[in-house]
Amino acid sequence: MSTPYSCFTAYDVRGRVPDELNQTIAARIGCSFAEQFVAQKLVIGHDMRLSSPSLAQSMIHALTDQGVEVVDIGLCGTEEVYYAVFSGENQGIDGGIMVTASHNPADYNGMKLVRKGARPVSGDSGLGAIGARAADDDWWHRVQAARTSRAGTYKKNFDKSSYIKHLLTLIDTDELQPLTLVVNGGNGCAGPIIDLLAEHLPFTFIRINHEPDGTFPNGIPNPLLPEKREATAAAVREHGADLGIAWDGDFDRCFLYDENGRFIEGYYIVGLLAVAILQDHPGATILHDPRLIWNTREMVTRAGGNPVMTKTGHAFIKEKMRETDAVYGGEMSAHHYFRDFGYCDTGMLPWLLACRLMSVQNSPLSTMVDERMDAYPVSGEINSRVRDPDGVIRAVEQQYKDGEKDYTDGLSVEFPRYRFNLRKSNTEPVLRLNVETRADPQLLKQKTRELLSIIRSD
| pLDDT tens, residue by residue, 304-348 | 999 999 999 888 999 999 999 999 999 999 999 999 999 999 999
Q: Is residue 4 part of a domain?
A: no
Cis peptide before 18 (omega within 30 of 0): yes
Domain boundary among 160, 192, 223: 160
CB 44 within 8 A of CB 99: yes
The bridge status of strand 254-257 relative to strand 344-345 is unpaired
SS3 15: strand
Domain boundary among 264, 287, 311: 264
Q: What is the mean pLDDT of the chain?
A: 96
Q: Are residues 343 and 286 in the same domain?
A: yes
Q: Are residues 19 and 129 in the same domain?
A: yes
pLDDT at 156 over 70: yes
pLDDT given for residue 41 in this prediction: 97
Residue 411 is part of a domain; what is its CATH number? 3.30.310.50
Q: Are residues 18 and 154 in the same domain?
A: yes
Residues whose CB is less than 8 angstroms from the CB of residue 299 and which lie 6 or more positions away in sequence, other chains included: 271, 272, 274, 275, 372
Q: Are residues 338 and 400 in the same domain?
A: no
pLDDT at 1 over 70: no
Q: Are residues 52 and 113 in the same domain?
A: yes
Q: Is residue 3 part of a domain?
A: no
Integer angstrom CA distances of residue 160 from 28, 193, 312: 29, 8, 31
Q: Is residue 370 part of a domain?
A: no
pLDDT at 63 over 90: yes
Q: Are residues 414 and 404 in the same domain?
A: yes
pLDDT given for residue 224 in this prediction: 85
Q: Looking at residues 424-436, what average pLDDT do you find?
A: 88
Distance, CA of 274 to CA of 355 (rounded, Å): 14
Our count of domains for the chain comes to: 4
Q: Is residue 171 part of a domain?
A: no
Distance, CA of 46 to CA of 75 (rounded, Å): 5
Which one-letter DSSP state was computed for residue 174?
A: G
Residue 26 is part of a domain; what is its CATH number? 3.40.120.10
Distance, CA of 201 to CA of 271 (rounded, Å): 25
How confident is residue 375, by pLDDT bands cut at 50, 70 and 90? very high
Q: What radius of gyration do the chain's Cα atoms show? A: 22
Q: Is residue 2 part of a domain?
A: no
Domain boundary among 101, 126, 160: 160
Please tell me whether the overall predicted TM-score, pTM, comes out greater than 0.85 for this model: yes
Q: Are residues 96 and 155 in the same domain?
A: yes
pLDDT at 281 over 80: yes
Q: Are residues 95 and 107 in the same domain?
A: yes
pLDDT at 147 over 90: no
Q: Are residues 152 and 21 in the same domain?
A: yes
Q: Is residue 375 part of a domain?
A: no
Q: Looking at residues 367-391, what average pLDDT do you find?
A: 96
pLDDT at 125 over 90: no
Q: Output 148 or 402, whichever has higher pLDDT.
A: 402
Q: Is residue 173 part of a domain?
A: no
pLDDT given for residue 348 in this prediction: 98
What percent of the chain is modeled with pLDDT above 90? 92
How confident is residue 427, by pLDDT bands cut at 50, 70 and 90? low
Contacts within 8 Å (CB) and 24+ apart, 431-434 = 431/383, 431/384, 431/386, 431/389, 431/392, 431/393, 431/455, 432/291, 432/381, 432/382, 432/383, 433/379, 433/381, 433/382, 433/383, 433/384, 434/291, 434/292, 434/332, 434/378, 434/379, 434/380, 434/381, 434/382
How confident is residue 2, by pLDDT bands cut at 50, 70 and 90? confident
Q: Which residue range forms the structural domain that includes residue 420?
A: 382-455
Q: Are residues 238 and 317 in the same domain?
A: no
Q: Are residues 47 and 134 in the same domain?
A: yes
Q: Looking at residues 297-310, what average pLDDT do you find?
A: 98
Which of 218-222, 238-242, 267-271 is predicted with the least confidence, judged by mean pLDDT?
Answer: 218-222
DSSP line for 269-304 = HHHHHHHHHHTTSTT-EEEE-SSS-HHHHHHHHHTT
CB 156 within 8 A of CB 57: no
Q: Is residue 321 part of a domain?
A: yes
Q: Output 203 or 224, whichever has higher pLDDT.
A: 203
CB 66 within 8 A of CB 143: yes
pLDDT given for residue 71 in this prediction: 97
Q: Are residues 250 and 316 in the same domain?
A: no
- Give the closest residue to 163 by CA, choosing from 426, 39, 348, 374: 348
Q: Looking at residues 226-230, what average pLDDT do you find?
A: 93
pLDDT given for residue 149 in this prediction: 66
Query: What are the residue numbers of the active site?
Result: 102
